[in-house]
Amino acid sequence: DTGVSQDPRHKITKRGQNVTFRCDPISEHNRLYWYRQTLGQGPEFLTYFQNEAQLEKSRLLSDRFSAERPKGSFSTLEIQRTEQGDSAMYLCASSLDINMLQGQTQYFGPGTRLLVL
Amino acid sequence: ILNVEQSPQSLHVQEGDSTNFTCSFPSSNFYALHWYRWETAKSPEALFVMTLNGDEKKKGRISATLNTKEGYSYLYIKGSQPEDSATYLCAEGDSNYQLIWGAGTKLIIKP
């Protein structure tokens, strides 16, 4: 399977614990994105990387959230001291940087569903 | 701040019937409009990306149109089948390649 993969698919944790999610993008894609989706809403942008550089972070991304892409390949998203409001689907996507005028299709993984008790 | 809206929120369609739904978006500083299909327990699947006013794209029984001047896109499904049941999401891509998403239209095809 050469698509975007995410691990784990589901995570249940207790409030106050730290969690880390992993995303493996399509291998030749240089851009990687993290989104969060809550029930009944569309995904919300969290952050994105071009290669290993984190170029933008949403205001939604509090200090408890950190994302890395150390070698420009896979990425991790860590949430420290989880809160019940962090319960959501965390989606990862990747794309190939091309002419902006042509648009960029982002290819998504299946997501990690987080439940904070 | 971009605000993308989709209507209706949900839709029940009889198998074999055709249907359509709407995505509206701010028309200033437009870059690209994306449509995705998201089935439960699967990854969102890219359907179309459109960049030019008047663009029309087609993929099998599904097609989409784009009007950037008035800020809307329509997605059409011809002869709905049970496998078309999914949530259809549109998103506007901004200058930083971020996608600003609508809340989706949940389509249920009744056999």
- Quick: pLDDT tens for B18-63: 999 999 998 777 889 999 999 988 999 999 999 899 999 999 999 9
Establish if A24 touches chain B: CB-CB under 8 angstroms. Answer: no
pLDDT higher than 60, residue B17: yes
Q: Which residues of A touch B89 (CB under 8 A)?
A: 42-43
Burial of B104 (0-12, 13-18, 19+ CB in 10 A): buried
A84-112 core/surface letters (b: 16 or more CB in 10 A; e: else): eebbbbbbbbbbeeeeeeebbbbbbbbbb
Which residues of chain B does A106 touch, with a Cβ-Cβ cutoff of 8 Å?
A: 34, 46, 99
Which residues of chain A make contact with B44, given a CB cutoff of 8 A?
43, 91, 108
pLDDT at B97 over 80: no
SS (H, E, C) chain B: CCCCEEECCEEEEECCCCEEEEEECCCCCCCEEEEEEECCCCCCEEEEEECCCCCEEEECCEEEEEECCCCEEEEEECCCCHHHCEEEEEEEECCCCCEEECCCEEEEEEC
> A48 and B97: CB-CB below 8 Å?
yes
Minimal C-alpha gap between B20 and chain A (Å): 19
* A43 close contact with B: CB closer than 8 A: yes
DSSP A22: E
